[in-house]
Chain A
Amino acid sequence: MIHIPDTILKRKDQREGELQKKHDNQPSQAEVFRETFREKEAEIEVLLASIEKTTDKLDLADMFDRISKSINQLNKYLASSSIFLIAYDIKISKSAIQSLQDRSVELENKYLPRKRFTFKNRRDMKPARDKNTEIDRHVEVEKIVTNPNAFSVSDKTDVTLFIDHEDIKNKDVTLSRLVNCVVFIHGSPNTLHLITLESCRIVSGPVVTSVLVEDSRNGSFAFPCQQLRVHNTKSTDFHIHVTTRAIIEDTSGVRFGPYRYSYDNLDAHYEGSGLDRERNNWDDVDDFNWLVNNKQSPNWTKMPPNDQDSFLEELKPYLKKNKST
C-alpha cells in the first residue's frame, strides 16, 4: 500500500471541485456554436459591405475569394457541429449561410461580372468572320469546309429557305445571324444550332440529339428533339417535342407549346431519329435563373392553343409558294 500524503489528496479534491464549478458555469456546446456562428456571420457581413467601397478589380477578386472561403468555413463549422445542434438551429444557420452566399454571388455579378467578358470576346470575334462573308449576298447555302458534317446558313435578311433531308441527314446544322427569315427543314439533322436570329420562323423535322438556341429575339421555332437549351433569348415561341427536358438560361418572355407541325416524311424521319413519340415534356422547362422550388418561373409561360394554331396558319402561304414553284 502506497501512502498518499493528505496534502496531495486535499489538492485533488480542490482541483476536481474547481473543474466541476467551471463546467457548471460553462455555456453549452450549442451556445458556443451560436456565438461563434454569429461572430463569423458578422465578419462576412462586414466583408460584403466593404465590397461596395472597393473599386480596384484585383482587390475585388481577392475580397470575393476571401468571402467564399469564409462562407465555406462557416459551412464546414455547421456541418461538424450538426451532431449536437437541434434541427431548428441547423435550419436557421443554413438559411443564414444561403443568404450570405446569395448576396455574395449577387455582388460578384454586379461588380465583377465574368459573364460580360464572354460576351465581349464573342462580339470581338464576329466582325472578323463577317468580313469573309460580307460579299456573299446570295440565297445559296454555304458549307463550312473544315467539317464535312456541318451544314450552315448565315448572314441573310428577308429570305425563305427550304432544306431537304438529303442535305442535312445526320449533320450538324447551324443557322446564324438571320433577320426576318423563314426556314423549313424537312429532314432530320443530328444537331441544330440557332444563333443570333432576329424575327425568324424556323421549322425542323426530328433532331436526333440536341438543339441550342442563343441570342435570339422575336422568333417562332418548331422542332422535335432530345434536349433543348435556350440561352440569352427574348420574346420567342417554341413549338416543341422534347423527350428529356428543355432548359432556359438568361432568357425571358418565351412561350412553350407542343410540336404540331407535320410534313410528308415526318413519320419516317421520326423513326430514323429514334425519338420516343409518346414522351413529350414540352411543358416541363427548367429555368437556370429561377432555382426556387415549386414556383413557376416568370421567364416562361405555356402558349394558348389558338396561338399555336395561328403559327401553323402563318406558315401556310410559304408552303404554298414552295409547291407552286
Chain B
Amino acid sequence: MENSFFVDSARLSPKALEIKHRLESDPSSRKNHMEYMEGMQRIDSDVCKNVMAHFDSYDPSAYTAADVKAALTRTGCGIEDFKALLSPAAEPFLEQMAERARLETSRHFGNTVYMFTPLYIANYCENYCVYCGFNCYNDINRLKLSPEQIENEMRVIAESGMEEILILTGESRSQSDVAYIGEACRLARKYFRLVGLEIYPVNVDEYAYLHGCGADYVTVFQETYDTVKYESLHLLGHKRVWPYRFDAQERALMGGMRGVAFSALLGLSDFRKDALATALHAYYLQRKYPYAEMSLSCPRLRPIINNEKINPRDVHERQLCQILCAYRIFLPYVGITVSSRESASFRNGIVKIAATKVSAGVSTGIGDHESKYTGKEAEGEHGDEQFEISDGRSLFTMYSDIEREGLQPVLNDYLYV
C-alpha cells in the first residue's frame, strides 16, 4: 500500500491551506534544498562526497548469491561485501548473517545491552516534513515544557532507575532555542549519568555550548540520503536544507561531543541504498575522527496522529533484521540502537544478534511521564506524540526481559570527563 502523507486540517486558514497545497503540488514554490540558509555554518569536509559516490553508484540488484557467500566467508568486511549483504541476494542468507552478526556483537560487546529513555521537552516545529506527526501543518496539541516541568519529568524518570536520557525537541529554533535546550541539559546532569540530544542541527559553537551544558552524544537522522526524494518530503523550513543536516554529526564532533548517531528513516526511499549511506556516513566520519563513538539507529516509518496510513512499506522485519546484521558485520564496533517503534518480540530477538541499546519506558509525547509512570492523573496539559510506539514496556519489565534472554542489562557505562 502506498503511503498517503498529505492530510489537511480543518483548522488551517484558507491562506495557510493554499500555501500548503502549493508546496505539495508545485516544486517551484519550494526553496532550493541544497542551498544553505542564513546562519548555517559550512565546514570543510569530504565525507559527504565519499558517501554519496557510493550511494549514487550502488545498484542492490547487481549482487548475486556468490557475492553474498564470498562476503560471509571473508575475514573482515569491506564496502563491496557490505553492499552484497544489503542486497536482495542476501535475503536467503539471513540466518547465516545473523550467526556472523551475533559473533561480532559478542566479541565487541559481550552480552551487555544498554538502556535509555527519550524525553521530549517540546513539540513545536517549523518544518513541513510530510510524514512526521510534529509537522507544522499537523493539528496536534503543542507544548513546550518549562524548566520546572522538565525537572519534574526527569525526576520521575530517574526514580524509575534510568541513568541515560536522550533529550528531544521538535525542530523549532524560535520555540526551543539553544539556551533552552542547554538549560534542559544542565538539569539532566543532576538526574542522569549520560545525556544525549536529538534536536535540530546547529553550528559548531552551539554544539560546544551544549557539550559544556552536559550533553555528550548527538543524534541526527538524515531521513533519506536520496536528495531528490528528500526534497519531495521536506517541503518547508530549515530542515529542508539537506547538506547542512548531513554535516551535523561532524559539527557536533568538532564541538567536542564524544559520540554521534546516524540513521535514515527506513521506508522513505530505497531502504537498501539508505542503509548503505547511513553506515558509510559513520564509517567515513570514524576514519576522520577515530576517537569518536559511532552509533546507528534503524527507525522505520510509524503511523502518526491524523494519519494512520503511514507505514514502513516494503521494509518488513526480515529486511530490518538483514540491515542490522549487515551493519554489525560491516561495523562491528559501533553501537546499534533499536527503539520502541519496533515490537517487543523483535527487540527481544535482535538484542541477541546485533543491537546493543534499547529504549524503555518510552513516551514520544510531551509532559506525560508522571501520569504514564505513576498512574497519577495528569494535572496540566500535555503535548501530542511524534509517532505511535509499538513496544510500551517499562524499564523494570524491559530489564527483566533482557535478563531472561541471558543478557546483562546495563544502565550506565559512561563518565562525563
Say whether A and B bind each other: no
* Chain A residues engaging chain B, CB cutoff 8 angstroms: none
B residues with CB within 8 A of A: none
